[in-house]
């Protein structure tokens, strides 16, 4: 690892000031993604701004009647928070489906949003990768692409965003509060991460001078009808091949509102609100769930090793919606 | 052998007397200079500046490790795992992968289990660290250590310190209520020898024995 200097930020303005005034500077929170990437020289910051002392750890009610998650609350604190468990169980389940108990104790909510892809070539300095080195080419398109994207990818990059937490946040229509040199702004969750297009080096729309301060959850947490399904190569401690967050608002067996977000299939958590809208006022049946599954995967494109994800995603959608509507039991550890 | 060398070096490394280490560092630096052709030397000049500068970049940090307060001086890029093993002679904590993927390096920071390989030591100023060496009370093994012995919860033993630190936390967190739950909450600790069934038994015994962990 290259040597670097480190400073501790005492307040948000100080953190923004440090990261903009120092050359090649990065924030560091839990460190679980950054250390990983620094050890292999994929990320080579020369200065780190330690933001773990900032007063952004609380989880509290917000003006909208929802909940505000401090950017420095850990994934574990968030998943086990009373209000999150009670009102936003889909978020709790998604977080607990990710990483390990140790990592969730370290990982922060802000850092989870910012974690980078697990594409093998991104991690391997010996191979071309447009995300790591713009213009060098994409090794995955014709390489081993089992974990890669089937939706929204580009010729330049077929990487996926690996987070579980973000899939639930996308389904919940969360908002990301950030502060930069020019003040505060709020980014709707679906606009936070981006598709690769011809700039795969950019994972999201956060600007270099901006820090995430909190994440707002709206009032409706879909606590009665939800499911998070994660399909992976082993039962625990593995990233998703496909994951689905499903949340329904029901009246009897009629759906009033449906939310469906997919993980492991695209450069960002995948939602298709126009397809969700088709479930409104429909009965909760497997037939209707199959229809929305087809609509979600319309236009999906697989590669040599990941075409299986298309059918897998459809089945996971039907299962998640069936569990959310209580047509099927949840299988939980 | 490697490990011993590192330890010796580590032991002598107090803030006030790291002269031997510095001398070695400098002398190898000088040897490098002598052996390097001038062209490469010019290209590498910036890099050498950096090496020399590093020596001034150690940061003071106070940690309470296994109930003993220690004032240390550490480079920012040193992980808690490397600090423990290579500078403090606490080699009970193991390096399995160094990337958060195996759990061999699990320790408690302020009572919470974490992967010491993914933590910079300088970010832990003022915190309490407990490693496997700090679990026993004098000669009295911790109940989890006893249970691992009783149930043969290991084969080669390399993952064991991490397993035990994680297992203690698992019980304290209240996540040891069934075999399935233990397996899920211990999934951050990989055992290459496959001692899992016995590890689960050891944890269940401690949990059901109701001893204070
Ligand atoms: C072995 C392993 C398995 C894992 N498995 C899973 C899994 O199954 N599912 C899953 O979802 N995740 C998984 N993770 C990823 C883990 O969840 C992330 O690494 C973690 O959430 C990152 O948070 P952090 O606080 O440690 O971030 P850091 O490593 O501290 O930072 C990551 C990046 O975010 C930036 N950053 C951090 N905080 C802020 C902020 N407030 N504002 C702006 N920028 C910020 C940093 O500058 C850095 O670039 C796994 C990780 C490992 C190592
Ligand atoms: S998929 Fe993206 S991250 Fe992976 S090699 Fe291609 S450009 Fe790099
Ligand atoms: S050495 Fe830290 S998790 Fe493997
Ligand atoms: S006992 Fe050998 S790795 Fe677990």
Residue A21's domain is classified under what CATH number? 3.30.43.10
The span from the CA of A37 to the CA of A114, in Å, is 13
C-alpha distances in angstroms, B61 versus A133, B20, B70, B80?
Answer: 36, 22, 8, 12
Residue A133 lies in a domain: no
Instruction: Give the model confidence (pLDDT) of B148-173 as tens digits.
Output: 999 999 999 999 999 999 999 999 99
A150 located within any domain: no
Which residues in chain A touch residue B180, judged by CB atoms under 8 angstroms apart? 333
The domain B135-213 is classified under which CATH number: 1.10.600.10, 3.40.50.720, 3.30.413.10, 1.10.150.120?
Answer: 1.10.150.120
- Cα separation of B4 and A309, whole Å? 50
- Looking up residue A243, the CATH number of its domain turns out to be 3.30.390.50
Residue A217 β-bridge partners: A67
**Residue A186 falls within a domain, yes or no?**
no
**Chain-centroid distance, C-alpha A30:** 16
Give me the pLDDT at residue B32, please.
43
B105 alpha carbon – ligand 3 mean position (Å): 5
- Cα–Cα distance list, B162 to A185, B84, B153 (Å): 42, 14, 12
In contact, A157 and A165? CB cutoff 8 Å = no
Whole-angstrom distance, CA of residue A257 vs CA of residue A169: 16
**Interstrand relation of A67-70 and A59-61 (parallel, antiparallel or unpaired):** antiparallel
Q: How many angstroms is it from A193 CA to the middle of ligand 1?
A: 14
Tens digit of each residue's pLDDT (9 = 90 or more) over A108-131: 999 999 999 999 999 999 999 999
Q: Is residue A273 part of a domain?
A: yes
Phi, psi of B74 (to 5 degrees): -135, 140
The domain in which residue A267 lies consists of: 226-324
Strand pairing category for A183-188 and A242-251: unpaired
**What are the backbone dihedrals phi and psi of residue B7, each rounded to the nearest 5 degrees, phi first?**
-65, -45
Nearest CB among B98, B170, B188 relative to A237 is that of B188
Domain end among A37, A53, A69: A53
Q: Does residue A225 sit in helix, strand or coil?
A: coil
pLDDT at B31: 43
Find the DSSP H helices in chain A: 12-21, 34-39, 75-79, 82-87, 89-96, 101-106, 109-114, 165-171, 189-192, 273-277, 286-296, 308-324
Examine the fold and report which residue of A16, A34, A53 is the final residue of a domain before the chain moves on: A53
Give the pLDDT confidence of B86-113 residue by residue, as tens digits.
999 999 999 999 999 999 999 999 999 9
Q: What is the pLDDT of residue B211?
A: 85
Q: What is the pLDDT of residue B47?
A: 53
Measured in angstroms, the CA of A164 and the nearest CA of chain B are apart by 16
CB atoms inside a 10 Å sphere around CB B3: 11
How many angstroms does the Cα of residue B85 sit away from the middle of ligand 1? 25
Rounded CA-CA distance B93/B158 in Å is 9
pLDDT at A107: 98
Closest CA to A185 of A161, A205, A162: A205
Ligand nearest the Cα of residue B198 is: 4
Q: Is residue A38 part of a domain?
A: yes
**Ligand lying nearest the CA atom of residue B196:** 4
Rounded to an integer, what distance in angstroms lies between the CA atom of residue A279 and that of residue A291? 9
Number of domains in chain A: 2
Residue A171 inside a domain? The answer is no
Which is nearest to B129 in space by CA: B213, B61, B68, B58? B68
Taking the C-alpha atoms of residue A114 and residue A210, their distance in angstroms, rounded to an integer, is 12
Is A197 part of a structural domain of the chain?
no
Percent of chain B whose pLDDT exceeds 70: 74
Put simply, whether A48 touches B (Cβ < 8 Å) is yes
Protein residue whose Cα sits closest to atom 44 of ligand 1: A211
ipTM above 0.90, yes or no: yes
Q: Looking at chain B, which residues constitute the CATH 1.10.150.120 domain(s)?
A: 135-213
* B186/B8: higher pLDDT: B186
Identify whether the C-beta of residue B173 lies closer than 8 Å to the C-beta of residue B185: yes
* Residue A289, domain member (yes or no): yes
User: B67 or B1, which is more confident?
Assistant: B67
B111 to chain A, any CB pair closer than 8 A? The answer is no
């Amino acid at each position: 690892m290259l040597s670097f200097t480190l400073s501790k930020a005492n307040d948000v303005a100080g953190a923004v000031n440090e990261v903009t005034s120092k050359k090649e500077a990065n924030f560091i929170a839990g460190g679980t993604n950054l250390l990983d990437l620094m050890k292999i020289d994929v990320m080579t910051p020369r200065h780190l701004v330690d933001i773990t002392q900032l007063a952004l750890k609380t989880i509290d009610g917000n003006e909208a009647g929802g909940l505000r998650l401090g950017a420095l609350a850990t994934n574990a604190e968030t998943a086990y928070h009373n209000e999150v468990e009670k009102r936003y169980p889909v978020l709790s389940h998604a977080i607990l489906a990710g990483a390990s108990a140790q990592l969730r104790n370290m990982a922060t909510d802000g850092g989870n949003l910012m974690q980078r892809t697990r594409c093998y070539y991104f991690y391997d300095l010996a191979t071309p990768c447009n995300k790591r080195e713009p213009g060098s080419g994409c090794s995955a398109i014709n390489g081993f692409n089992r974990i890669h994207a089937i939706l929204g990818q580009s010729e330049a990059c077929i990487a996926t965003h690996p987070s579980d937490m973000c899939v639930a946040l996308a389904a919940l229509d969360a908002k990301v509060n950030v502060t930069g040199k020019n003040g505060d702004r709020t980014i709707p969750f679906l606009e936070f991460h981006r598709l690769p297009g011809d700039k795969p080096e950019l994972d999201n729309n956060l600007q270099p001078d901006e820090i995430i301060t909190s994440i707002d959850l709206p009032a409706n947490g879909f606590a009665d009808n939800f499911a998070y399904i994660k399909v992976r190569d082993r039962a625990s401690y593995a990233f998703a091949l496909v994951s689905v967050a499903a949340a329904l608002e029901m009246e009897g067996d009629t759906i009033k509102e449906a939310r469906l977000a997919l993980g492991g299939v695209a450069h960002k958590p995948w939602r298709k609100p126009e397809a969700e809208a088709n479930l409104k006022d429909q009965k909760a049946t497997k037939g209707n769930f199959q229809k929305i599954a087809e609509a979600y995967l319309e236009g999906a494109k697989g590669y040599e090793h990941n075409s299986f994800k298309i059918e897998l995603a459809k089945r996971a959608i039907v299962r998640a919606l069936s569990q959310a509507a209580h047509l099927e039991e949840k299988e939980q550890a | 052998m490697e490990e011993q060398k590192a330890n010796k070096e580590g032991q002598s490394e107090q803030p006030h007397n790291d002269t031997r280490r510095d001398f070695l560092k400098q002398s190898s630096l000088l040897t490098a200079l002598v052996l390097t052709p001038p062209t490469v030397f010019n290209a590498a000049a910036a890099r050498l500046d950096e090496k020399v500068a590093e020596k001034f970049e150690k940061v003071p940090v106070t940690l309470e490790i296994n109930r003993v307060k220690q004032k240390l001086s550490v480079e920012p890029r040193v992980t808690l795992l490397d600090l423990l093993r290579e500078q403090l002679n606490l080699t009970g904590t193991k390096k399995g992968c160094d990337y958060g993927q195996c759990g061999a390096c699990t320790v408690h920071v302020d009572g919470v289990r974490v992967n010491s390989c993914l933590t910079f030591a300088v970010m832990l100023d003022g915190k309490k660290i407990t490693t496997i060496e700090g679990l026993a009370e004098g000669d009295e093994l911790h109940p989890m250590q006893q249970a691992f012995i009783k149930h043969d919860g290991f084969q080669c033993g390399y993952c064991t310190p991490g397993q035990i630190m994680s297992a203690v936390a698992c019980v304290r967190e209240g996540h040891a209520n069934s075999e399935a739950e233990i397996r899920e909450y211990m999934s951050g600790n990989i055992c290459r020898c496959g001692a899992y069934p016995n590890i689960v038994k050891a944890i269940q015994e401690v949990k059901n024995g109701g001893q204070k962990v």
